[in-house]
Amino acid sequence: MKLKPNILITGTPGVGKSHLAERVADKLELKWHNVSEIAKKHKFLEGFDKVLDCPILDEDKIMDHLEPEMEKGGNIVEYHACEMFPERWFDLIFVIRCSNTILYDRLTKRKYNEKKLQSNIECEIFQTILEEAKDSYEEDKIHELVNETEDQLTENISKIDELIKEWLEVQDKENK
């Protein structure tokens, strides 16, 4: 039995996933797994997409690496895609969103090339990650959060904390 839930934080690049995941992990004492960093560190890469200027991950190696941790519970997995992860891994899924204007400014600061910038803005406009989540996981586990300001970040951390407490209460009742 897991003592803490596993959480997925997902969304278009630039919406604030890493900042939120790091803050939630620190506050709630969860283990944060930044999938992009894991792939780089362990060389779980299959190549490089020159058009979108990004690495292509070896998803099987990433899943094998994360599986033992996920079985224990108490994890936050953070990545800009979600359909590759097994549904059984997550108790709560948070799709992080922000306005296209803010996203454009954030991605421009990161010096994204024009194709990568356009692709990510379109992803946010068409709610691609939210739709992926709805296609991949039970809808009652999915929560959409807007993350544009420090106040919203604080509210999001409180919301996640509240949902974890609710999850723990349900687990406690089911185990009695």
Residues 15-73: pLDDT tens digits?
999 999 999 999 999 999 999 999 999 999 999 999 889 999 999 999 999 999 999 99
Q: Give pLDDT, residue 175.
A: 85
Q: What count of residues does the chain have?
A: 176
Could you tell me if 107 and 38 are in contact, meaning their C-beta atoms sit under 8 angstroms apart?
Answer: no
Distance CA 97, CA 10 (A): 9
Q: Give pLDDT, residue 160.
A: 98
Confidence of residue 1 (pLDDT cuts 50, 70, 90): low
Confidence of residue 2 (pLDDT cuts 50, 70, 90): confident
Please name the residue that has the structure tokens 């996920």: 70
Residues 110-130: pLDDT tens digits?
999 999 999 999 999 999 999
* Amino acid, single-letter form, for residue 93: I
- Count each helix (H run) and each strand (E run) in the chain, helices first: 7, 7
Please name the residue that has the structure tokens 């379109």: 122
**Pairing mode, strands 45-49 and 54-57:** antiparallel
Residues 142-170: pLDDT tens digits?
999 999 999 999 999 999 999 999 999 99
Distance CA 167, CA 170 (A): 5
Look up residue 56 and give its two tokens: 């292509």
Q: Give pLDDT, residue 158.
A: 98
